[in-house]
């Protein structure tokens, strides 16, 4: 994919400094422009499909893009200086060098114009490195917006955001007194903050919509390559990768109506265990509140089969999975009917018998003459389940009938009921069955 280095050039008469990301760079010669350092570091192996894009106002263009842009105020003549344009063209890279003019950004209209100019330079699939060292006024914030906007619309990826922190060694007047080869300016890698924004968005998607797909993709894009470099020895990365896989498994289980006692509950409780591990690890502090957000979303799961069933139904309700919620609630009723007998609710034949017994009750056909042959062969088991349902009276029959009708309406797309009524009735049905079944366990 094409690579692009993007930076904004200011108007100051910059001082020669040694910019460094790692200690090895401290041995580099002093350079006037941080962009020259960054391009020399990141673009040596780039080809003609890649680009170095420098955005300038007209004033910055005159002063620092072209040669000899600054005046010596005392002498009244131009200060000899090779501008950034020539410096970039002389680095060992085949990447194209391009200047793009932008307005000063003194109004909302001009800020929008800057937004469009930067966005228009990005192409689908670009891999971006962004330098914000000399980005003035609103540009750093604008850069984050543009990058995330472009991730969605142009599927770009961000390789890095960097900032040369001249202020760490003093004001310009103080730095000018230091010998150039002693002016060591750190270049901070701010990419983790963008990663945090991505993870925040992905976790919100999980907690709001129940979809962990973005979390899993992020883990594949950012964590798995790092794990390969660490050869699996980094505990933090391993724990995060494991959590991402667990969330994705839980999300898929619940969207495909896996059993409340089994896949869904096991994956939810596994998430809680992985979060406990991460709570004790030395990770970025800002991640911990995000993890607590996840933990809260699966906090209702336990070792209790019925409680886990209601937790799954509630999860579906909270995340707009209405069809799954109805199916889970009906299956949970069957589970509860079987649990009160000595039978195993995981056994398919027992569930079929429970379904039949529930149908007899809700359709008022509890007389053995109406039973199917399989029910008659399992008379005692069937009667126990029928008696359990009948003890709740007429309301149970009505609500049980309603849940079957609505579930069938959804599954067969019959469209006989409005979406609003089906959702409202789901809430009522959930509260009713939760009350009578959990009270029965007390």
Q: Residue 282: pLDDT band by 50, 70, 90 thresholds?
A: low
Please tell me which of 76-80, 268-272, 277-281 the model is most confident about, judged by mean pLDDT: 268-272
Whether the pLDDT of residue 394 is over 80: the answer is: yes
| CATH number of the domain to which 405 belongs | 1.20.120
CA distance 360 to 387: 11
Residue 251: per-residue pLDDT:
86
Whether 297 and 307 map to the same domain: the answer is: no
Residue 138: per-residue pLDDT:
76
Residue-range definition of the domain harbouring residue 354: 303-442
Q: In this prediction, what percent of the chain has a pLDDT beyond 70?
A: 92
Residue 210: per-residue pLDDT:
79
DSSP sequence for 369-411 = GG--HHHHHTHHHHHHHHHHHHTTHHHHHHHHHHHHHHHHHHH
CA distance 79 to 95: 29
E-only strand ranges, 93-179: 96-101, 127-131, 157-164
Whether 43 and 163 map to the same domain: the answer is: yes
Residue 228: per-residue pLDDT:
54
Q: Residue 212: pLDDT band by 50, 70, 90 thresholds?
A: confident
Residue, of 263 and 331, whose pLDDT is higher: 331
Whether the pLDDT of residue 123 is over 90: the answer is: yes
Residue 225: per-residue pLDDT:
56
For range 285-298, the mean pLDDT: 80
Q: Which of 189, 223, 246 lies at the terminal end of a domain, its last residue?
A: 189
Whether the pLDDT of residue 250 is over 90: the answer is: no
Please tell me which of 41-50, 67-76, 188-197, 296-305 the model is most confident about, judged by mean pLDDT: 41-50
CA distance 44 to 40: 6
Whether 296 and 386 map to the same domain: the answer is: no
Q: Which of 263, 279, 301 lies at the terminal end of a domain, its last residue?
A: 301
- 170-194 confidence digits (pLDDT tens): 888 898 899 999 999 999 998 888 8
Residue 195: per-residue pLDDT:
81
- Residue 253, token pair as written in the block: 């289980």
Whether 97 and 128 map to the same domain: the answer is: yes
Spell out the long-range contacts of 394-401 with Cβ–Cβ below 8 A and sequence spacing 24 or more: 395/432, 396/361, 396/436, 397/361, 397/362, 397/364, 399/428, 399/429, 399/432, 399/433, 400/333, 400/358, 400/361, 400/362, 401/362, 401/363
- 79-105 confidence digits (pLDDT tens): 889 999 999 999 988 999 999 999 988
Whether 175 and 232 map to the same domain: the answer is: no
**Count of structural domains, the chain:** 3
Whether the pLDDT of residue 72 is over 80: the answer is: no
Whether 277 and 232 map to the same domain: the answer is: yes
Q: Residue 224: pLDDT band by 50, 70, 90 thresholds?
A: low
| CATH number of the domain to which 154 belongs | 3.40.50.10640
CA distance 131 to 163: 6
CA atoms within 13 A on the CB side of 59: 7
Whether 236 and 331 map to the same domain: the answer is: no
Burial label for 416, CB within 10 Å (0-12, 13-18, 19+), is exposed
> 131: closest CA among 41, 68, 30?
41
Residue 288: per-residue pLDDT:
76
Whether 10 and 81 map to the same domain: the answer is: yes
Mean predicted lDDT score pLDDT of the chain: 88
Whether 314 and 297 map to the same domain: the answer is: no
Please tell me which of 144-148, 207-211, 246-250, 383-387 the model is most confident about, judged by mean pLDDT: 383-387
Whether 174 and 237 map to the same domain: the answer is: no
Q: Which of 301, 324, 353 lies at the terminal end of a domain, its last residue?
A: 301
Whether 173 and 233 map to the same domain: the answer is: no
Whether 218 and 173 map to the same domain: the answer is: no
């Amino acid at each position: 994919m094409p690579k692009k280095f993007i930076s904004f050039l200011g108007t100051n008469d910059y001082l020669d400094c040694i910019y460094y990301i790692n200690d090895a760079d401290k041995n580099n010669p002093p350079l006037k422009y941080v962009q020259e350092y960054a391009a020399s570091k990141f673009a040596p192996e780039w080809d003609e499909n890649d680009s170095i894009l420098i955005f300038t106002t007209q004033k910055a263009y005159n002063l620092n893009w072209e040669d000899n842009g600054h005046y010596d105020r005392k002498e009244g003549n131009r200060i000899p200086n090779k501008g950034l344009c020539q410096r970039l063209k002389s680095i060992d890279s085949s990447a194209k060098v391009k200047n793009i003019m932008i307005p000063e950004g003194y109004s909302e209209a001009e800020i929008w114009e800057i937004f469009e100019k930067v966005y228009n330079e990005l192409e689908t699939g670009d891999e971006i490195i962004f330098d914000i060292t000399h980005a003035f006024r609103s540009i750093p914030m604008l850069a984050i917006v543009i990058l995330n906007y472009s991730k969605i619309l142009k599927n770009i990826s961000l390789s890095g955001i960097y900032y040369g922190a001249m202020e760490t060694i003093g004001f310009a007047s103080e730095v000018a007194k230091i010998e150039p080869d002693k002016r060591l300016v750190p270049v901070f890698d701010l990419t983790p903050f963008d990663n945090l924004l991505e993870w925040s968005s992905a976790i919100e998607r999980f907690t709001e919509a129940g979809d962990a797909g973005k979390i899993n993709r992020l883990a594949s894009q950012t964590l798995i390559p790092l794990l390969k470099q660490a050869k699996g020895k980094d505990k933090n990365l391993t724990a995060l990768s494991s959590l991402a896989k667990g969330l994705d498994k839980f999300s898929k289980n619940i969207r495909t109506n896996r059993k409340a006692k089994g896949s869904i509950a096991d994956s939810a409780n596994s998430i809680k265990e992985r979060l406990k591990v991460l709570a004790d690890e030395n990770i970025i502090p800002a991640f911990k509140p995000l993890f607590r957000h996840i933990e809260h979303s699966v906090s209702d799961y336990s070792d209790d089969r019925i409680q886990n069933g209601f937790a799954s139904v509630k999860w579906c309700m909270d995340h707009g999975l209405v069809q799954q919620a109805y199916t889970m609630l009906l299956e949970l009723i069957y589970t509860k009917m079987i649990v009160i007998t000595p039978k195993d609710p995981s056994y398919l034949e027992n569930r079929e018998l429970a379904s039949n017994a529930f149908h007899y009750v809700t359709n008022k056909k509890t007389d053995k003459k109406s039973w199917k042959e399989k029910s008659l062969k399992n008379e005692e088991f069937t009667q126990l389940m029928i008696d359990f349902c009948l003890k709740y009276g007429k309301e149970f029959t009505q609500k049980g009938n309603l849940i079957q009708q609505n579930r069938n309406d959804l599954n067969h797309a019959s469209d006989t009921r409005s979406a609003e009524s089906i959702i409202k009735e789901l809430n009522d049905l959930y509260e009713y069955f939760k009350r009578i079944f959990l009270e029965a366990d007390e």
